[in-house]
Amino acid sequence: MRKVRYILFFIVYALVASAQNPIIQTVFTADPAPMVHDGKVYVYTSHDEDETVKNFFTMFDWRCYSTADMVNWTDHGVIASLKNFGWMDKTNGAWAPHCIERNGKFYLYVPIHGEGIAVLVSDSPTGPFIDPIGKRLVDSDHIWQDIDPTVAIDDKGQAWLYWGNPKLWYVRLNEDMVSYDRSMGQNGIISIDMTAEAFGFKEGRDGKPGTTYTEGPWLYKRNNLYYMAFAAAGIPEYLAYSTAPSPEGPWTYKGIIMERAPHLAFTNHPAIIDFKGNSYLFYHDQDLSKGQGFKRSVSVEQFNYNADGTIPLIIPTKEGIKQSVANLNPFKKVEAETMAWSEGVKTASDSKTGVYVTQIDNGDYIKVRSVDFDKGARKFKASVASASAAGQIEIRTGSIDGELLGVCEVKNSDRMQKWTAQSCKVKKTRGVQDLYFVFKGGEGPLFNFDWWRFK
Ligand code: FUB
């Protein structure tokens, strides 16, 4: 019996130790929208609050995370919220976003549940974003169905904005990306024919023939073919897709991308990108909240297209991305909120420091994958702040109880926002390693942690 318990403990330990999904553990994230820009992937997410109100989606703002290696994600915090829109007074309903770059500007398309689709613009992928038009973007008579925008720019420079639940509509965005051509369809809005050939057959709630398309469209082009991935046959939803020879269709249903599974939520939401030669499917699950459908988390899987361009059935895993596509340089300043995995900690931000790691308690840890120590490091430096008896950062490789490279003492600096640089010597380590910061100290929050580097 004892032996069985030991084996079970090691299986669970090994699974947690190799877990990479969900990709964010500090907060609940949903509705991923990745954007490849300048050697990085930026993932824009909606954000399920820790406290669900009235047993419904409780969502006030949008967040952004970036990575250069697909395994370590840097938290850029809240990049926009419902407060960005002075023309409406909704305090809940910050649903699935989409961001795209054009001519050096970043356009964030967001649905405000019950208010329709709006747009924000910024000079940087991580904001600050401002409202350029002071009103909703999509001027429709079905604003409650106007959710989940997805935007793609074709080779001729035409930008297409698709959206909708349980129907699909699109507009041709003008070059300014904040208005659209109103000469076609209904005041510019074109309604897609929802046929079984286009989106798969499903009987409607009224018993009439319908389609599997539900929501969460994701439009992109690959090898002269347009793909529309979507959440299907809700609820619970699975992920499916259709393809078309042009961004305007005609769409042909191609099948399921990800089946329903017990640890997936009653909603799902696909996004597909290619990055550094690999293909990735982003989606969300309810693993972190242990089954609460209004507290979801973004996950990602790598996959290979079939030779004919079709998408294989993708299995959601706890392991996620096995191989990083780049190593992390520890000799440059690394934001402490860059993590492959963490337990216990949270992030916060202020206008002076930006995002930092907080709520660090005894035993919490951060894992950073694929850190390239090259010929070795001798010294570790961290920017930290503490108003308590503080504690230590144990610097380890391989696992939370792996080889101890050094211990950085964090001293009281009077205030949790008074940052000091603290250093320690480390045992020389070489090559590419997974790095662990294991936090030690007494009771209660120990310190805040802003950045680190090795010398
Ligand atoms: O997150 C709120 C809504 O749930 C999204 O808009 C849908 O796609 C579904 O994920």
pLDDT confidence bin for 18, thresholds 50/70/90: confident
CB 299 within 8 A of CB 316: yes
Residue 161's Cβ-count burial label (10 Å; 0-12, 13-18, 19+) is: buried
Positions of CATH 2.115.10.20 in the chain: 24-303
Of the chain, the percentage scoring pLDDT greater than 70 comes to 96
pLDDT confidence bin for 17, thresholds 50/70/90: low
Q: Is 65 in the pocket of ligand 1 (CB under 6 A)?
A: no
Mean pLDDT of 48-63: 98
Q: Looking at residue 278, what is its pLDDT?
A: 98
Q: Is 57 in the pocket of ligand 1 (CB under 6 A)?
A: yes
- Give the strand pairing for 403-410 and 391-397: antiparallel
Mean pLDDT of 43-60: 98
CB 73 within 8 A of CB 66: yes
Q: Is 173 in the pocket of ligand 1 (CB under 6 A)?
A: no
Question: In terms of CATH, what superfamily is 334-454?
Answer: Galactose-binding domain-like (2.60.120.260)
Comparing C-alpha atoms, which of 243, 238, 244, 245 is closest to residue 266? 238
DSSP per-residue codes, 311-379: PPP----SS---S-SS-B-TTS-EETTEESEEES-EEEEETTTEEEEE---TT-EEEEEEEE-TT---E
pLDDT confidence bin for 295, thresholds 50/70/90: very high
Domain 24-303: give its CATH code.
2.115.10.20
Q: Is 285 in the pocket of ligand 1 (CB under 6 A)?
A: no
pLDDT confidence bin for 307, thresholds 50/70/90: very high
CB 337 within 8 A of CB 69: no
Q: pLDDT per residue over 266-290, tens digit each? A: 999 999 999 999 999 999 999 999 9
3-class state of residue 96 by DSSP:
coil
Mutational test site, ligand 1, from 82, 168, 267, max ligand atoms within 8 Å of CB: 267
Output the pTM of the full model: 0.95
Q: pLDDT per residue over 317-337, tens digit each? A: 999 999 999 999 999 999 999
148 CA distance to ligand 1 centroid (A)? 7
Residue 6 confidence (pLDDT) above 80 = no
Which of 380 and 207 is assigned the larger pLDDT?
A: 380
How distant is the alpha carbon of residue 336 from its chain centre?
18
3-class state of residue 401 by DSSP:
coil
Q: Looking at residue 9, what is its pLDDT?
A: 37
Q: How far apart are the C-alpha atoms of 66 and 76, rounded to whole Å?
A: 8
3-class state of residue 88 by DSSP:
coil
10 CA distance to ligand 1 centroid (A)? 36
Comparing C-alpha atoms, which of 116, 26, 34 is closest to residue 359? 26
Q: pLDDT per residue over 382-435, tens digit each? A: 999 999 888 999 999 999 999 999 999 999 999 999 999 999 999 999 999 999
Average pLDDT, the chain: 95
Residue 234 confidence (pLDDT) above 90 = no
Q: Looking at residue 10, what is its pLDDT?
A: 40
CB 279 within 8 A of CB 292: no
Q: pLDDT per residue over 150-163, tens digit each? A: 999 999 999 999 99
Mean pLDDT of 335-353: 97
Q: Looking at residue 389, what is its pLDDT?
A: 82
pLDDT confidence bin for 3, thresholds 50/70/90: very low
Positions of CATH 2.60.120.260 in the chain: 334-454
Residue 8 confidence (pLDDT) above 80 = no
Q: Looking at residue 243, what is its pLDDT?
A: 98
pLDDT confidence bin for 207, thresholds 50/70/90: confident
Mutational test site, ligand 1, from 215, 235, 258, 285, max ligand atoms within 8 Å of CB: 215
Of the chain, the percentage scoring pLDDT greater than 90 comes to 92
Whole-angstrom CA distances from 69 to 146, 205, 369 are 34, 44, 9
Q: How far apart are the C-alpha atoms of 357 and 366, rounded to whole Å?
A: 10
153 CA distance to ligand 1 centroid (A)? 23
Q: Looking at residue 65, what is its pLDDT?
A: 98
